[in-house]
Structure 1
Amino acid sequence: MAEISAMPAGLQALMSRADAGGKAPPPVEKWNPPFCGDLDIRIARDGTWYYLGSPIGRLPLVKLFASVLRKDEDGRHYLVTPVEKIGITVEDAPLLAVEMAVEGEAENRQITLRTNLGDLVQAGRDHPIRFEKEPDSGGLKPYVHVRGRLEALFTRALMYQLAELMEERGKEDGSETGIWSGGQFFAVSPDLLDVSE
């Protein structure tokens, strides 16, 4: 990876602890440090992290950066330490949902997801699933809430698995298509299902 001495001091200190691991994520939502500008870190659509255009090859370092990643109300992503807040670029979602375990059926179904960086989430009230339209193909892009305002995008393979679990349920003005998990029904907006566009 490129020279780290050009990084802000708080991130340099963080990187020195990159291989420690095993700790709970820091309380980044409670920190309110000053904004220190943007850094040339980018999370590509495929989940690869880049620094100065080169992939960051050390997974412990990526996990450490991800542990201090926050999405603010302005819609931007930041690396946040107690002393600095640094803007980075995220092409889609900062995490990928890469593995899924399913227990039960319909209203009793529980979907548990693992992200590319090891987060485990049970889709439900605290970790809702939402859908958007893929601009290129017109297909669905499902996301699951992980923590704070951070979401994980389902990989294409996982999307196909999720599609197999979709069902319709009746409601007062007709029916809706979606997925059950954790006692919640996550509906796909009808305009996302309109293939006539």
Structure 2
Amino acid sequence: MPYEPPPELTALSLGEIADLVTARRLPPVTDWTPSETLDSGIEIRADGSWYHEGGRIERPAMVRAFSSLLMRDAAGDYWLCTPHQRHAVQVVDAAFVAVDVVAREGALVFRLNTDDLIVAGPDHPLRAAGTAEQPAIYLGVRHGCEARINRSTWLQLVELADGDDWAVTSQGLRFPLVPA
């Protein structure tokens, strides 16, 4: 079955986004305790592109499937997990890239490079890193993984910022767009 990406964010209400998020059933990777550890030969580069043994993975559906198995442990290491094996993955910056954002009914909704839709809030906080001159904003995604907010999405966030303090609000929480 061919992969169909979700509709553009601008065309969706918050309720429709919630339905799409609920419809994507993810594997229970945190429930699995694989006994075998291997190297996957996979690298996720800073631009969000996936490579296997030096060759770019070109199929978006394959990247999306692999990303559903991705987790980051307490030591900061990334793994593709299955019930019986975990495969080490090298991640240059963040496992995902946020490529779009819209404000809907008091919430900020992000589209990732994997077509995942994430609503910023208590379960998916925004984190400001870097410097005031070169901020790096990250969005919590799942299983310890984050998405780096790309430049055009950061500029969209600046347009959505409340007041003069360079911060945005989503689901009642305020998130700074520059590090303290």
1:121 CA drift (Å): 1.3
- Mapped to 2, the partners of 1:85 and 1:97 lie a distance apart of 26
**TM-score normalized by the length of structure 1:** 0.74
Larger-Rg structure: 1
Confirm whether residue 54 of structure 1 aligns to residue 43 of structure 2. Answer: no
> Residue 64 of structure 1 aligns to which amino acid in structure 2?
A
2:142 paired residue among 147, 153, 159 = 147
Partner of 1:164, secondary structure, is helix
- Mapped to 2, the partners of 1:58 and 1:112 lie a distance apart of 25
User: Is residue 19–residue 61 contact of structure 1 (8 Å, CA) maintained in 2?
Assistant: no
Partner of 1:29, secondary structure, is helix
- Mapped to 1, the partners of 2:66 and 2:2 lie a distance apart of 12
Cross-structure match for 1:160: 155
Gaps of 5+ in 2: 5-22
Cross-structure match for 1:99: 100
- Mapped to 2, the partners of 1:74 and 1:62 lie a distance apart of 24
Confirm whether residue 181 of structure 1 aligns to residue 170 of structure 2. Answer: yes
Q: How does 1:68-83 map to 2 (within 5 A)?
A: 68-83=69-84
Partner of 1:32, secondary structure, is coil
RMSD: 2.5
1:143 CA drift (Å): 1.0
- Mapped to 2, the partners of 1:58 and 1:23 lie a distance apart of 19
1:177 CA drift (Å): 4.4
User: Is residue 70–residue 143 contact of structure 2 (8 Å, CA) maintained in 1?
Assistant: no
**TM-score normalized by the length of structure 2:** 0.80
1:126 CA drift (Å): 1.4
Confirm whether residue 64 of structure 1 aligns to residue 65 of structure 2. Answer: yes
Which of structure 1's runs of 4+ aligned residues deviate more than 6 A? 18-22
- Mapped to 2, the partners of 1:114 and 1:49 lie a distance apart of 17
